Amino acid sequence: MDYKGIIAKYKDVPGGIIEAFHAVQKQFNYLPEEAIVEAAKIFNVPVAEAYGVATFYSYLSVEPRGKNVIRICESAPCHIAGADEVVAALERELGIMMGETTDDGKFTLEYTECVGQCQATPVITVNGKPYAGVSPAQIAAILAEYR
């Protein structure tokens, strides 16, 4: 694991711990505990504070996740537009529940807050790529792009 080199690149950057965590997560798809402890050392903050940063932001994860992270907006507009049906289709297609990862490690399902695409709800993102106006019928085709 080369998280030390990744984190060290951001040592002198204002707000660098957040950028370092983004870079580590991009590499490993989550923040390993060892990386959080290392960041605390490099940024000269208590480990508890580094964990606080790592767990405060919903887009950072301290738990291992699948290669493809699927997030669905749970804001009111998406909820009203049928997000529950899209969630049901995702869970059915992947054989997992929200918050879980497939056994093969390819997919993780997560909720998120608004992704700024309220003009075409409901919205999901796959690895940050937004899909707006999603219906349950589209789920199989969207997942096929990542299988």
Res. 87 pLDDT band, cuts 50 70 90: very high
Q: Distance (Å, rounded) from C-alpha 64 to C-alpha 42?
A: 23
Instruction: Answer whether residue 80 is part of any domain.
Output: yes
pLDDT of 89-124, one tens digit each?
A: 999 999 999 999 999 999 999 998 888 888 888 999
127: tokens are 């690895």
Query: Do 97 and 103 meet the contact criterion of CB atoms below 8 Å apart?
Result: no
Res. 78 pLDDT band, cuts 50 70 90: confident
Res. 13 pLDDT band, cuts 50 70 90: very high
Claim to verify: residue 11 and residue 38 sit in the same structural domain: yes
| DSSP structural state of residue 70 | E
CATH code, domain carrying 83: 3.40.30.10
Q: For residue 97, what are the domain limits?
A: 68-144
Claim to verify: residue 72 and residue 140 sit in the same structural domain: yes
- The number of distinct structural domains making up the chain is 2
Claim to verify: residue 88 and residue 28 sit in the same structural domain: no
| Cα–Cα distances in angstroms (integers) from residue 23 to residues 95, 111, 135, 136, in the given order | 30, 22, 32, 33
- Please say if the pLDDT value at position 1 is more than 60: no
